[in-house]
Structure 1
Amino acid sequence: MNQKVLKDVGIDVEDALSRMMGNENLFKCMMSRFVDDPTYHQLLSAIKDDNQEEIFRHAHTLKEICANLSIKPLEDLFVRQV
């Protein structure tokens, strides 16, 4: 995991690792799971269908995931959406 690249895109690696008790393997695993998570596509579908309840639910889920992984730029976007 290239921490410099992660930091360059706005991920607070130190904060994320502190949330995971310094376990870098857990952080890698959680980042991989985030990339494969279907929630973003579910959000897009809810937006397309103008389903406000589902939009809120998926945006809130993504906000929390981004907060837990310390992906501040995305978290800020989802905070505004929620």
Structure 2
Amino acid sequence: MEMKTALALGKAGVDTEAALRRLGGNTMLYEKVLIKFLDDQSFSEIGPALEQDDFETALKAAHTLKGVSANLGMNRLADACARIVSQIRAEKTEEAKTAYPELADAYNAVCAVLADEKADE
């Protein structure tokens, strides 16, 4: 992973060092999984589900995205997902809707870096 990419990911709330430790230091695997993250559909389900008051779907998608992002060191994104998950579980659905823009910002920040990296390949 290029230093420029690692720094950009860090600014987007990604702890690349922790994620690499989880993957046994395998940089090539980490890069491959990060690029594959762009294909994950969980994020695209959360916003529409919240808008339609489909909290079961929003909960499932946010929980999935939380796990994936946490494993990849995307702490800011994982934390935003965790807030939505806990708010839905506590039946604080309006707060979950209000928290969604923070999740979207975190997701978009990570994806912008990853899309740049993918374009450079």
Fold shared per TM-score above 0.5: yes
Unaligned runs of 5+ in 1: none
Number of positions where the alignment pairs a residue of Structure 1 with one of Structure 2: 82
Identity between Structure 1 and Structure 2 (%): 35
1:42 aligns to 2:52 (yes or no): no
Distance 1:44 1:6 in 2: 23
Larger radius of gyration between Structure 1 and Structure 2: 2
Unaligned runs of 5+ in 2: 86-121
Of residues 43-52 and 18-27 in structure 1, the stretch that sits farther from structure 2 once superposed is 43-52
**4+ runs deviating over 4 angstroms:** none
* 1:41-76 Cα shifts (integer Å, max 9, x gaps): 122232232111111100000110111001111111
Q: What TM-score comes out, normalization by structure 2 length?
A: 0.63
Distance 2:48 2:36 in 1: 20
Residue 26 of structure 1 is matched in structure 2 by: 29
Amino acid at match of 1:15: A
Alpha-carbon RMSD = 1.1
* 1:20-57 Cα shifts (integer Å, max 9, x gaps): 11011111111111112111112223223211111110
